Structure 1
Amino acid sequence: MAIVVRIDVELARRKMSVGEFAEQVGLTPANVAVLKNGRAKAVRFATLEAMCRVLECQPGDLLEYVPDESLVQR
């Protein structure tokens, strides 16, 4: 996957549980798990905004682009 989700890093920095985060963002813990595990196909800007508000961070703190090896070797 080319996009790495780093929600778990930001949660750990703030000593915040997934349940607390989910409640404050307005997601279910199951949907937070989908995001954390990189299985989400999309993220709404409203959701990203809420995550950044709750975690007091920037979108780049939560999402990182990492090129696939197969694309780099071309």
Structure 2
Amino acid sequence: MERLRAEAAAAGRGPDAIGAVLRVDLPPGSSTADAAATHAFVDLMYLPGAAAGGAAALRLAEEVPAAV
């Protein structure tokens, strides 16, 4: 998150203008240790053009970090 905010500031955007949410769905019986996450995934499937796959999906994957 620190890097994300630094990149936003470098791009002339307020660093607090960037928000992120990480949702972890654990199966029943999981422990709090099971909830620890070291990576996050941004699902692009609902962005316009993502369903086309291939080059369109790769373009979207490049555009998202650039938009941050």
Pairwise same-fold verdict (TM > 0.5): no
TM-score, length of structure 1 as denominator length: 0.29
> Could you say which structure has the higher strand fraction?
1
TM-score, length of structure 2 as denominator length: 0.30
> Could you say which structure has the higher helix fraction?
1
Higher relative contact order (CA 8 A, sep 6+): 1
